[in-house]
Amino acid sequence: MNLWKEFSKGLWEQLPPFRILLGLCPTLAVTTSAENGLGMGIAVIFVLTLSNTIVSLVRDFIPKKVRIACFIVIAATLVTSVELLMQAYTYTLYQQLGIFVPLIVVNCIILGRAEAFASKNPVIPSFLDGLGIGIGFACSLVVIASIREVLGKGTWFGISLFGENFEPFTIMSEGPGGFIVLGILLMAMNISSAYSIKKKQHITDPSVLVEKGQKSTPLTNVQ
């Protein structure tokens, strides 16, 4: 039961990049089409799960002072293998993601999970934690990318949805669309969590609601 909790927290409670605001660069830069978002998501799942597992395996042998450097080298090794695999099997996707494939190594989620979870917990929970957070991140990327692709190009995974008369909302598939879509999604999540707290506790006093709402949604603080 506890293990299930480690896995499932990444899917809602700590869903990146909404609940924990980490890994914003790939979130905004590669989500121009659903396919790119999915490719990036899968690469992150792979790196995050394995890096969590490896960090957890070697956590007792790493001296405290150099642990960050060790985590980065582990992540960099995994990212290099992802890069080589993508070059071999999905070369078009590799070219579309461009510089953001090697940049997975500085994705704060990887280092954040290694430092906050994997360096303190046994192997199996760390594995599940990485898998859960990775899948949550991949799902978020696909959602953001789908919104942007449908609005910006009128297609979804390359399939045309609206026929020829659709006038694309081009700005959505350009960079600014990423900021705007993410901002609006965060706003929607703030509203929904404020609403669910209100429903749960039947609070009528608005000032109490604000206090509770901010406590349960750490959205307003980056890192």
Task: Give the interface with another protein as residue ranges (CB under 8 A).
Answer: 21-22, 24-25, 28-29, 68-69, 72-73, 76-77, 79-80, 83-84, 99, 102-103, 105-108, 111, 171, 174-180, 182-184, 186-187, 190-191, 194, 210, 219-223
d(CA 141, CA 16) in angstroms, rounded, equals 9
Three-state SS annotation for 20-87: CCCCHHHHHHCCCCHHHHHHHHHHHHHHHHHHHHHHHHHCCCCCHHHHHHHHHHHHHHHHHHHHHHHH
Distance, CA of 32 to chain centre: 15
Contact 35, 157 (CB under 8 A): yes
**Phi and psi torsions of 80, nearest 5°:** -60, -40
Question: What is the smallest separation between the CB atom of 4 and another protein, expressed in angstroms?
Answer: 30
Question: What is the smallest separation between the CB atom of 154 and another protein, expressed in angstroms?
Answer: 20
- Residue closer to another protein (CB basis): 128 or 172: 172
Question: What is the smallest separation between the CB atom of 47 and another protein, expressed in angstroms?
Answer: 11
Question: What is the smallest separation between the CB atom of 119 and another protein, expressed in angstroms?
Answer: 16
- Residue closer to another protein (CB basis): 3 or 69: 69
- Residue closer to another protein (CB basis): 30 or 131: 30
Nearest to 184 by CA among 216, 147, 211: 147
- Residue closer to another protein (CB basis): 92 or 170: 170
- Residue closer to another protein (CB basis): 29 or 123: 29
Question: What is the smallest separation between the CB atom of 159 and another protein, expressed in angstroms?
Answer: 26
* Partner residues linked to 160 by β-bridges: 155
